[in-house]
Amino acid sequence: MNTNLFGERVVLMIPGPTELHPAVQRVLSTPIVAHYGPDWLPVYEEALKLAASIFKTNSEVFMMPTPGTVALETGVISLLEPGEKAVAVVNGFFSERLAEIGDHVGVNVVRVNAREGETVSPDKLDEVLKANADAKAVLAVQNETSTGVVNPVREYAKVANERDVLFILDAISSYGGVDLDFDGWGIDYCVGYANKCLGSIPGTVPVAVSGRAWDKLRNRRTKPASFFTNLNVWRRYIDEWKGIGHPYPTTISPHAVLCFKAAAQAALEEGLENRYQRHLRVAAAFRRSVRAMGLETLPSEAVASPTVTAIQLPAAVWKDAGKISQTMLKKHRIMIGGGIAALHGKILRIGHMCVTASTRYLVPTLAALRDSFNTVGLELNDGVETFMSEIAGKD
């Protein structure tokens, strides 16, 4: 059985990067432009306005030409001094990585943990903050792609605000695909991303910073021991070099910004609420289809991510996890993700973001999964009929 419906190219059904939005593909064929100057500045500022609309903020937004992790480190190293305490909400690989960033820059990180596939309750976070009254910030991830869990960050932000600590959020795999309200929820520092839910290319990272966070930075006792990941440096270039159309301390990729702009415009034209509901609807239908095939998903429905599904592998095929992924890739030309760290070899991860949160991409993925499991001796039921029925019933 060959379900290769996309030709010879590999289709990205991983938790990022994801397939490009058509508007982004059109931008990629345009000529190179300079990353500064009077003609460039209005283009860059329009991209910032679009980014702010997705963050839902009137606070300052800027772009970093980096991976998302560097933008997260910028927030931690700038807003927390060595020796200060932060509480990190940890329930997977990427939330642990955010905590590790704090460890590496000298922050006293107190972890509040949940098992893979579960979330830390807001009440538990509040208990930990009460017991650590000297904490200065909460670190959290909105969408933990290593386990397919979406965290209750609105409630976490409420707890952080009630305890008068900063709330630093990784929204890398949720920005543009999951509801986010920077101002309304009281977030202080948030990192979005271009080439996951927006379907753009890597190379530029939107960052939102609250007035309270800028005040914390100005009132530091010590200077951040960094240049590039120092918000003071970014502040200076935003203030002093904006006039020449270069409000950043380094070269940036104009095409990354132009592609981001096109992708953000497409998201806003779809309507953020419509887009969020599409991701929720398609993700729920996909998970139900996986279970109809005879497999289990890792998290409960109450905390399941709208942008990535974690499929539990039966113990009998743990040894064959790599073979299943390779069959998907080599035979069906569909790339999927595997488990990370403690879940290595125990789960598969399927991304459904931006254009891949659709029947066009998920129907072939379901058919290919059934065939790929068959190659390791596990007969599954058909999942396509369930998916189509679920989608039809929700339209």
Q: What is the pLDDT of residues 351-369, one digit of tens each?
A: 999 999 999 999 999 999 9
Residue 266 near residue 197 (C-beta atoms within 8 A): no
Containing structural domain, residue 279: 11-20+272-394
Query: Do 112 and 162 reside in the same domain of the chain?
Result: yes
Domain total of the chain:
2
Query: Do 280 and 235 reside in the same domain of the chain?
Result: no
Residue 129 has pLDDT above 70, yes or no: yes
Residue 1 has pLDDT above 60, yes or no: no
Residue 233 near residue 77 (C-beta atoms within 8 A): no
Query: Do 228 and 285 reside in the same domain of the chain?
Result: no
Domain CATH for 65? 3.40.640.10
Residue 151 near residue 142 (C-beta atoms within 8 A): yes
From 217, 252, 268, the end of a domain falls on 268
Q: Three-state SS for 232?
A: helix
Q: Name the pTM for this structure.
A: 0.96
Is residue 111 in a domain? yes
Q: What is the pLDDT of residues 140-192, one digit of tens each?
A: 999 999 999 999 999 999 999 999 999 999 999 999 999 999 999 999 999 99
| Mean pLDDT of the region 321-327 | 96
User: Taking the mean position of all CA atoms in its chain, how far away is CA 74?
Assistant: 17
From 268, 302, 320, the end of a domain falls on 268
Is residue 4 in a domain? no
- pLDDT for the residue 4: 63
Query: Do 206 and 92 reside in the same domain of the chain?
Result: yes
Residue 342 has pLDDT above 70, yes or no: yes
- 92 CB contacts (<8 Å, ≥6 apart)? 116, 141, 144, 145, 146, 147, 149
| Separation between Cα atoms, residue 378 and residue 294, nearest integer Å | 10
Q: How confident is the model at residue 41 (pLDDT cuts 50, 70, 90)?
A: very high
Residue 6 has pLDDT above 80, yes or no: no
Query: Do 311 and 233 reside in the same domain of the chain?
Result: no
| Mean pLDDT of the region 92-99 | 98
Is residue 6 in a domain? no
What is the identity of the amino acid at 2?
N
Residue 63 has pLDDT above 80, yes or no: yes
**Closest-CA residue to 231 (of 246, 245, 244, 216):** 216
Q: How confident is the model at residue 393 (pLDDT cuts 50, 70, 90)?
A: confident
Q: What is the pLDDT of residues 251-288, one digit of tens each?
A: 999 999 999 999 999 999 999 999 999 999 999 999 99
- 349 CB contacts (<8 Å, ≥6 apart)? 14, 15, 145, 146, 148, 308, 309, 310, 311, 336, 337, 338, 339
From 216, 235, 268, the end of a domain falls on 268
Strand-pairing partners, residue 206, are 63
